[in-house]
């Protein structure tokens, strides 16, 4: 499958769970035929139960609901939580689940890191936001700064086709997907944005997302802003950023002020030297943990999705991004990121770069090359075909009343 640019879409930027969850829950509440959800993390907390409630309600009124959940990112959902959904008819699958070894998760590599929701083939959501309370600003200083988009228009059909073709066949036979002869009016041309759905897999689309970043940097003329939680790309992308800056493009990079992986901070010092001395402006975000994966160029190009710019996302994981050509959307994202820079970031200048010493250089070089070659080393390990394990409903399910479900899972207020 290969997607092409689609015209006439309406794209709305959603910042953090505060905007994302109410929009998603409203769309699911309006669903008439089908809801498909893929995500890396779904926690059994307040937000997780709210999502549970809206999906359960949809399934009980006859909507077909399918969930694909990563087996590494979400290993601890209780049987009660899952069985209530499967008993109501929700098709609930885990992507490549594995048993724990000495209490530790062993299935770290080649994860299903996408975050996609499709509702009735008329509305889709793509981004980096998982389903947990830590994506709400009310969570406090550790709340994640993140983004997603709500999409309406022809590109939704591409997203729906992708999702359906990547799910296994149902018990009744082989899965088929085809465009309906009569599309609902909402799906015709509700906006003016041009959009392209892109993804990364371990087969024919290994470098699609990275390739679009490289093309964007090569074509940029005035400004590029990249905000990425885990920034440790390959040399090609680093060179493209530096080359853009050297030809006069204003290149801004927003990264985490305090990476949660120590070796990333050590390796990043080498990147800081290379980029800052090449003219790239680096801003460390310090207000909260940064989890976003967004970028823009000039006054028309933008992307929002699940893909970090690190070895796991660019070389191993399954990822999905939406690329948007639209001046209004570009300006909305630009205003948001510039506000982060002005209010919550510290710029890395030459005086902040680590002093040159054999010790600092040696540590940075070792960390840099370990992180860069890590995916190749993992690639030498014996590959396997990931399994999708469907959760079967219990033989005698304990059915909850609607009142109890609503009591346990209060809805997010919009």
Whether residue 320 is contained in a domain is answered as no
* Same-domain status, 246 and 181: no
* Same-domain status, 142 and 279: no
* Same-domain status, 256 and 176: no
Q: For residue 102, what are the CA distances in angstroms to 109, 136, 246, 312?
A: 18, 33, 51, 24
* Same-domain status, 193 and 235: no
Whether residue 359 is contained in a domain is answered as yes
- Bridge partners of 15, per DSSP, are 147
Question: Tokens 């801004």 sit at which residue?
Answer: 252
How high does pLDDT run on average in the chain?
86
HSE, CB side, 13 Å, CA atoms: give it for residue 389.
11
- Work out the pLDDT band at 392, boundaries 50, 70, 90: confident
Whether residue 137 is contained in a domain is answered as yes
* Same-domain status, 101 and 247: no
- Work out the pLDDT band at 101, boundaries 50, 70, 90: low
Share of the chain above pLDDT 90, in %: 65
pLDDT at 84: 97
pLDDT at 269: 67
Alpha-carbon distance of 301 to 323, in angstroms, equals 7
* Same-domain status, 346 and 393: no
Active site residues: 113, 115, 120, 291, 293, 298
The pLDDT of 122-145, averaged and rounded, is 98
- The CATH code of the domain that includes 97 is 3.30.870.10
* Same-domain status, 346 and 387: no
* Same-domain status, 181 and 244: no
- Work out the pLDDT band at 110, boundaries 50, 70, 90: confident
Number of folded domains in the chain? 2
Alpha-carbon distance of 309 to 303, in angstroms, equals 13
The pLDDT of 185-207, averaged and rounded, is 88
Q: Are 164 and 180 in contact (CB under 8 A)?
A: no
Structure token pair of residue 158: 């591409």
The pLDDT tens digits of the residues spanning 367-391 come to 666 656 655 555 555 455 667 778 8
- Work out the pLDDT band at 102, boundaries 50, 70, 90: low
* Same-domain status, 182 and 269: no
pLDDT at 412: 45
- Least confident interval from 45-49, 111-115, 372-376, 400-404: 400-404
Domain span at residue 308 reads 208-315+325-378
* Same-domain status, 352 and 260: yes
The pLDDT tens digits of the residues spanning 228-282 come to 999 988 889 999 999 999 999 999 999 998 876 665 666 666 788 889 999 999 9
* Same-domain status, 88 and 114: yes
pLDDT at residue 307 tops 90: yes
Q: Which helix (H) or strand (E) holds 85?
A: helix 79-87
pLDDT at residue 402 tops 70: no
Helical packing angle, 235-246 and 208-219, nearest 10°: 10
Share of the chain above pLDDT 70, in %: 77
**Maximum Cα–Cα distance for the chain, whole Å?**
67
Alpha-carbon distance of 58 to 56, in angstroms, equals 5
- Work out the pLDDT band at 403, boundaries 50, 70, 90: very low
Winning range, highest mean pLDDT, from 172-176, 333-337, 345-349: 333-337
pLDDT at 170: 52
* Same-domain status, 38 and 184: yes
Whether residue 104 is contained in a domain is answered as yes
Q: For residue 62, what are the CA distances in angstroms to 34, 89, 113, 360?
A: 9, 9, 29, 61
pLDDT at residue 408 tops 50: no
Provide the pairing of β-strand 319-325 with 193-200.
antiparallel
CA 127, 318, 134, 30: dihedral to nearest 10 degrees?
A: 50
Alpha-carbon distance of 232 to 368, in angstroms, equals 9
């Amino acid at each position: 499958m290969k997607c092409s640019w689609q015209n006439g879409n309406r794209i709305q930027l959603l910042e953090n769970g505060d905007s994302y969850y109410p929009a998603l829950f409203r769309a699911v509440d309006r669903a008439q035929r089908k809801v498909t959800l893929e995500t890396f993390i779904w926690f059994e907390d307040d937000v997780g139960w709210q999502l549970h409630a809206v999906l359960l309600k949809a399934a009980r009124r006859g909507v077909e609901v399918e969930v694909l959940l990563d087996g590494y990112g979400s290993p601890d959902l209780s049987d009660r939580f899952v069985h209530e959904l499967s008993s109501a008819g929700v098709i609930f699958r885990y992507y490549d689940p594995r048993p724990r070894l000495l209490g530790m998760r062993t299935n770290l590599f080649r994860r299903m890191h996408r975050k996609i929701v499709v509702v009735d083939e008329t509305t889709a959501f793509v981004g980096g936001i998982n389903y947990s309370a830590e994506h709400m600003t009310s969570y406090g200083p550790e709340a994640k700064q993140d983004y997603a988009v709500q999409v309406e228009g022809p590109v939704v059909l591409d997203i729906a086709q992708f999702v359906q073709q990547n799910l296994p066949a149902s018990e009744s036979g082989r899965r088929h997907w085809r465009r309906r002869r009569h599309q609902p009016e909402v799906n015709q041309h509700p906006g003016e944005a041009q959009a392209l759905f892109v993804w990364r897999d371990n087969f024919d689309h290994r470098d699609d997302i990275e390739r679009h970043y490289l093309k964007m940097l090569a074509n940029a003329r005035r400004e590029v802003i990249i905000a990425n939680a885990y920034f440790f790309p390959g040399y090609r992308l680093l060179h493209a950023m530096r080359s853009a800056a050297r030809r006069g493009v204003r290149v801004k990079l927003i990264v985490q002020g305090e990476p949660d992986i120590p070796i990333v901070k050590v390796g990043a010092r080498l990147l800081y030297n290379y980029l800052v001395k090449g003219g790239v402006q680096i801003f460390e975000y310090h207000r909260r943990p940064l989890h976003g994966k967004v970028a823009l160029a000039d006054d028309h190009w933008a992307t929002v999705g699940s893909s970090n710019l690190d070895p796991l996302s660019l070389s191993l994981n399954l990822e999905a991004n939406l690329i948007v050509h639209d001046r209004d959307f570009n300006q909305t994202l630009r205003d948001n990121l510039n506000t982060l820079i002005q209010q919550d970031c510290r710029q890395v200048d030459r005086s902040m770069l680590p002093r040159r010493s054999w010790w600092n250089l040696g540590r940075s070089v070792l960390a840099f090359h370990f992180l860069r070659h890590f995916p190749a080393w993992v690639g030498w390990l014996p590959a396997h075909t990931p399994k999708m394990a469907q959760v079967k409903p219990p033989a005698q399910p304990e059915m909850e009343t609607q009142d109890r479900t609503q009591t346990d899972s209060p809805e997010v207020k919009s």
